[in-house]
Amino acid sequence: MEIGNLARPTDLDAALELIRKERGVAVGGGLWLRMSSKPMGLAVDLGGLGLDYIRDSGGDIEIGAMTPFRRLETSALLAERFGAFFRDAVGGVVGVQFRNMATVGGTVAGRYAFAGLNAALLALGAKVVLRGEGTKDFASFLSEPRNESFLVEKVLLPSGCRAGYASVGLTEGDFRILIAAAAFVGGSWRVVVGARPGAARLCDTATKELGSDAKPSGAAIEKAAVAAAAEAAFADDLRSSAEYRREVCPVLVRRAVSEALK
Amino acid sequence: MTATIVVNGIAERLSFAPGDMLADVLRAAGHVEVKKGCDTGNCGACTVLVDGTPVLSCAFLAARAEGKAVTTVQGVEKEAARFAAFLGAEGADQCGFCAPGFALTVIALSREIQNPTDEQIKAYLSGNLCRCTGYESQHRAVRRFLEATHARH
């Protein structure tokens, strides 16, 4: 990676201006830099913006964009509010050193289809705060194309809920072949299937099958699991066939709901 | 650009290009104990501690280390040598290329988690790849090193 200039702003609005007016490229965790051959005229390091935090704002849980994965998995606050959900979603990503660098904002901004974190945030009904644009629903943010440069400031989560995560991969630290996440939030369930290998998507039919019962019956869980596999679109990639993903999907949805009910 | 980075307790004024990674800058400054394996942020050979936190120096922008304390294996020489004795006793070291990064991760583990379980040890070290040993002997060495460290404190 060739970088012409590196700016290290300490102010969010200054960072946004560099990104928008100077066509700067935001650098979060920076883990992709090494694998990119595209020259970058101006890189904008977001490391000095004070965006490394997880806090209870009194209504929401706020997670700053530069918060590393490792902090998500070790946060006492997140464990208290969401159980093992975040530890399960990010704890298997490569290794500890990698997770000390990979950031929430980088993963959200990249809208990475393979990321367990994005599936988890979608299941929780998270919102994303974009500097200068306000708060957006994470589901819309994931699915809508964006033409203009943007800067992720933080992610907002509900104050706490039951949530479960399950995934499968070729090896422990490898990209996931399929992800399922389920959460009972705001009085109803949300079921998400990710790494299809497309971006994580909310499964409406599966969500309806689970309904608003905090403790759904085994039959309802089974229906939701089958519905998720029927409605999600799967595709082939070098790690798995679409057929395998479709077969595994109900198993993971069942596991994710079971985890949420623990 | 130039930056002052505290390497193993000594402030060094280093010059580098804006896109240079910490591993390259450290090696160019003579800290060749920092190894480059995959050079894509996956194998853990390049692990260093930045303000006590293990990171992959091959994917860490050198500019981000400005004003921070960077520790290579040389900065924890005595502790690393003590760990190396356990590696030797278990026949857990062959080519040794991964050892500097591996030792730093083990030392970070010993500081972060008191009395870790076997699962915690395996999870913490999963980002350090070794193509010689098959990990079992390393795992025994780490377990014994941590037990001995725990007993000393």
* Count of alpha carbons within 13 angstroms of residue B149, beta-carbon side: 25
User: Which of B47, B59, B105 is opposite residue A34, by nearest beta carbon?
Assistant: B59
List C-alpha distances in Å: A71 to A63, A99, A247, B97, B126. Answer: 10, 8, 33, 29, 17
pLDDT at residue A103, rounded to an integer? 97
pLDDT at residue A39, rounded to an integer? 86
- State which amino acid sits at residue B14: L
Q: Look at A34 and B41 and tell me if their CB atoms are within 8 Å.
A: yes
Q: Where are the domains of chain B?
A: 2-72, 75-152
Exposed (0-12), middle (13-18) or buried (19+): which is A222, by Cβ within 10 Å? middle
Nearest one of A181, A180, A191, A177 to A235, comparing CA atoms:
A177
Q: Look at B127 and A30 and tell me if their CB atoms are within 8 Å.
A: no
The answer to whether A94 contacts chain B (CB < 8 Å) is: yes
Whether the bond into B18 is cis, omega within 30 of 0 = no
- CATH number belonging to the domain at B2-72, selected among 3.10.20.30, 3.40.50.10190, 3.40.50.720, 3.40.50.2300: 3.10.20.30
> CA–CA separation, A9 vs A180, rounded Å?
38
pLDDT along chain A (262 residues), means of 10: 92 96 93 84 96 95 98 97 97 94 96 93 98 95 88 97 96 90 96 92 95 94 97 95 97 98 94
User: Which of A2, A35, A172 is opposite residue B19, by nearest beta carbon?
Assistant: A2
Q: Which chain A residues touch B17 with a CB distance below 8 Å?
A: 3
Q: Which chain B residues touch A43 with a CB distance below 8 Å?
A: 18-19
> CA–CA separation, A59 vs A66, rounded Å?
21
The answer to whether B86 contacts chain A (CB < 8 Å) is: no
pLDDT tens digits for range B4-60: 999 999 999 999 999 999 999 999 999 999 999 998 888 999 999 999 999 999 999
Token readout for B77 is 């020489």
Distance from CA of A172 to the nearest CA of B (A): 9
Q: Domains for chain A: give ranges and CATH numbers.
A: 3-42 (no CATH), 54-157 (3.30.465.10), 164-260 (3.30.390.50)
B112, closest residue in chain A (CA to CA): A74
- List all residues of chain A from 182 to 221 with a beta carbon under 8 Å from chain B: none
- List all residues of chain B from 88 to 127 with a beta carbon under 8 Å from chain A: 105, 108, 123-127
Q: What is the mean pLDDT of chain B?
A: 95
Question: Given the structure tokens 């039959």, which residue do they identify?
Answer: A219
Nearest one of A64, A94, A85 to A192, comparing CA atoms:
A85
List C-alpha distances in Å: B72 to A214, B42, B50, B57. Answer: 51, 18, 9, 10
∠ CA A195-B125-B137, nearest 5°, is 125
For chain B, the residue count is 153
pLDDT at residue A36, rounded to an integer? 81
Residue of B15, B61, B119, B142 to mutate when probing chain A, most A C-beta within 10 A: B61
Q: Look at A94 and B42 and tell me if their CB atoms are within 8 Å.
A: yes
Which ranges of chain A does DSSP label H, i.e. alpha helix? 12-21, 69-74, 76-82, 85-90, 96-99, 104-110, 116-123, 138-143, 204-210, 218-231, 242-261
Distance from CA of A29 to the nearest CA of B (A): 8
Q: Which chain B residues touch A1 with a CB distance below 8 Å?
A: 19
The answer to whether A23 contacts chain B (CB < 8 Å) is: no
Q: Is the ipTM beyond the 0.85 threshold?
A: yes
User: Which of A1, A95, A173 is opposite residue B19, by nearest beta carbon?
Assistant: A1
Question: Given the structure tokens 């860490």, which residue do they identify?
Answer: B60
The answer to whether A25 contacts chain B (CB < 8 Å) is: no
- Using pLDDT thresholds of 50, 70 and 90, give the confidence band for residue B1: very high
Note whether A43 and A25 are within 8 A (CB): yes
Q: Which chain A residues touch B34 with a CB distance below 8 Å?
A: none
Q: Which chain B residues touch A35 with a CB distance below 8 Å?
A: 40-41
pLDDT at residue B42, rounded to an integer? 87
Q: Which chain A residues touch B21 with a CB distance below 8 Å?
A: 33-34
The SS3 assignment for B136 reads helix
Residues 6+ apart with CB under 8 A from A50: A10, A64
Class of domain B75-152: mainly alpha
Element (H, E) at B7: strand B2-7
Token readout for A100 is 């000390």
Note whether B125 and B105 are within 8 A (CB): yes
Q: Look at A47 and B21 and tell me if their CB atoms are within 8 Å.
A: no
The answer to whether A35 contacts chain B (CB < 8 Å) is: yes
pLDDT(B153) > 80: no
